[in-house]
């Protein structure tokens, strides 16, 4: 399915992105669900897939984590099934992510899909990330409040909610409508009938994640082994004192590691391309030989990127799933990062280089790219 998003991106970014929530009526005209409720329920039965059931019965919230063996115990009202990173397990749903590539790939997280019966929802809450919620089959009422400090509470140990709020948006969404919500705006949605919702989320790392990730990189590569030195050690009145200049020098030692461009770029490329959820990797059996890759591409076969695989570029360097892809063929590397579906023309003369073919075969044999059926 080729989803066409009716959105003026420059206007949207100027007026709404990380600023205000907005309903985009008919963002997708004639919207067709890429997955059925039964298929979604089947995915939630798989142990590798992250899923939740949330219900609200007799004033009590309940949440359980998959995999699920049966849904026979559920009634006809007041529950939702939520499945994370469906784009990594169900190829047709990955197409729903592509219209949002007007925003940087490195900020995109995953596609969460929910099926809800009448009254189903997860209660009033807020998120620390941007999200586009696409209405599929059915109707759902959404309320969004102003971004103000709100008290959070846990009606269930795994469910964080906020207190009731006054709505600045209160609308019923129909198939193809999109609700955009920036971080920090409280919201709640309740199904009016059996409905499907598709949430395209955008991840923003916090400082704790960045520092932790960079520290791991430094330790793995044994960087920063130089020690503090003070040949001109300053006298002090009290031996217990640590002087401001000494703190500055210690902080400078740490910042020097971060401020080294090559190290920082290498680390961030590896860090930001690591999958946040398990990938549906299925290496081909038997593995492809480089000449088989060459023949297939020359005959017009197409390579498709695995759903959820993060392929990003920093300068001339391309990273995929936590690793740098080494090759001198910059246009071919650019094609790997820019295109979801590739043909032989995208690689150009690089296909005539045995070393590039060997590298490409290794990527295909890792399950990162596969030939389109």
Q: Give the DSSP per-residue string, 9-77.
A: HHHHHHHTTTT--EEETTSBTT---SS-HHHHHHHTTSTTS-EEEEEEETTEEEEEES--S--TT--SS
Q: Which residues of the chain have pLDDT under 50?
A: none
The residues of the chain that CATH labels 3.40.366.30 are: 290-371
pLDDT for the residue 157: 86
pLDDT for the residue 281: 93
pLDDT for the residue 322: 95
pLDDT for the residue 110: 94
- Measured between alpha carbons, how far is 362 from 311 in angstroms, rounded to an integer? 15
Query: Which residues does 268 contact at the CB level (< 8 Å), separation at least 6?
Result: 314
What is the strand order of the sheet 311-314 is part of? 311-314, 317-320, 323-325
Topology of domain 290-371 in CATH is Malonyl-Coenzyme A Acyl Carrier Protein; domain 2 (3.40.366)
pLDDT for the residue 120: 96
Nearest to 353 by CA among 334, 326, 372, 316: 326
E strands, 68-139, where?
79-83, 108-116, 130-135
pLDDT for the residue 373: 77
- Measured between alpha carbons, how far is 343 from 300 in angstroms, rounded to an integer? 7
pLDDT for the residue 58: 85
The residues of the chain that CATH labels 2.60.120.650 are: 9-202
pLDDT for the residue 158: 87
- Measured between alpha carbons, how far is 299 from 58 in angstroms, rounded to an integer? 62
pLDDT for the residue 276: 86
Q: What is the CA radius of gyration of the chain?
A: 25
9-202 is classed in which CATH architecture?
A: Sandwich (2.60)
pLDDT for the residue 240: 97
Query: Which residues does 315 contact at the CB level (< 8 Å), separation at least 6?
Result: 265
Q: Which long-range contacts (CB under 8 A, 24 or more apart) does 45-53 make?
A: 45/69, 46/89, 48/89, 48/278, 48/280, 49/83, 49/84, 49/85, 49/89, 50/83, 50/84, 50/85, 50/277, 51/81, 51/82, 51/83, 51/84, 52/81, 52/82, 52/158, 53/79, 53/80, 53/81, 53/82
């Amino acid at each position: 399915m080729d989803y066409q998003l009716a959105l003026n991106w420059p206007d949207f970014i100027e007026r709404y992105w990380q600023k205000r929530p907005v309903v985009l009526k008919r963002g997708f005209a004639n919207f067709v669900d890429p997955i059925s409720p039964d298929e979604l329920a089947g995915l939630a039965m798989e142990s590798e897939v992250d899923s939740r059931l949330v219900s609200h019965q007799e004033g009590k919230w309940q949440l359980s984590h998959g995999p699920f063996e049966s849904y026979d115990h559920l009634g006809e009202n007041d529950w939702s099934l939520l499945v994370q990173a469906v784009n990594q397990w169900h190829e047709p749903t990955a197409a729903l992510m592509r219209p949002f590539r007007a925003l940087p790939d490195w900020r995109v997280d995953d596609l969460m899909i929910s099926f809800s019966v009448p009254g189903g929802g997860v209660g009033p809450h807020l998120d620390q990330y941007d999200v586009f919620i696409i209405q599929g089959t059915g109707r759902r009422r959404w309320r969004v409040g102003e971004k103000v400090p709100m008290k959070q509470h846990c009606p269930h140990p795994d469910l964080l909610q906020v207190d009731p709020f006054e709505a600045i948006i209160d609308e019923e969404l129909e198939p193809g409508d999109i609700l955009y919500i920036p971080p920090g705006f409280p919201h709640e949605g309740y199904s009016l009938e059996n409905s499907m919702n598709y949430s395209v989320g955008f991840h923003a790392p916090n400082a704790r994640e960045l520092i932790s990730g960079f520290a791991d990189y430094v330790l793995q590569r044994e960087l920063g082994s130089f020690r503090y030195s003070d040949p001109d050690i300053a006298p002090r009145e009290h031996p217990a004192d640590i002087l401001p200049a000494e703190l500055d020098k210690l902080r400078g030692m740490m910042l020097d590691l971060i401020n080294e461009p090559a190290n920082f770029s290498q680390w961030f490329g590896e860090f930001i391309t690591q999958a946040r959820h398990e990938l549906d990797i299925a290496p081909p059996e038997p593995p492809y030989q480089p000449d088989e890759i060459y023949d297939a591409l020359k005959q017009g076969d197409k390579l498709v990127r695995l759903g959820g695989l993060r392929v990003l570029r920093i300068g001339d360097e391309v990273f995929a799933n936590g690793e740098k892809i080494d090759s001198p063929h910059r246009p071919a590397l650019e094609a790997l990062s820019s295109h979801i579906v590739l043909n032989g023309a995208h690689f150009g003369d690089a296909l005539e280089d045995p070393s590039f073919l060997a590298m490409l075969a290794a990527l295909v044999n890792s399950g990162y790219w596969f030939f389109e059926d």
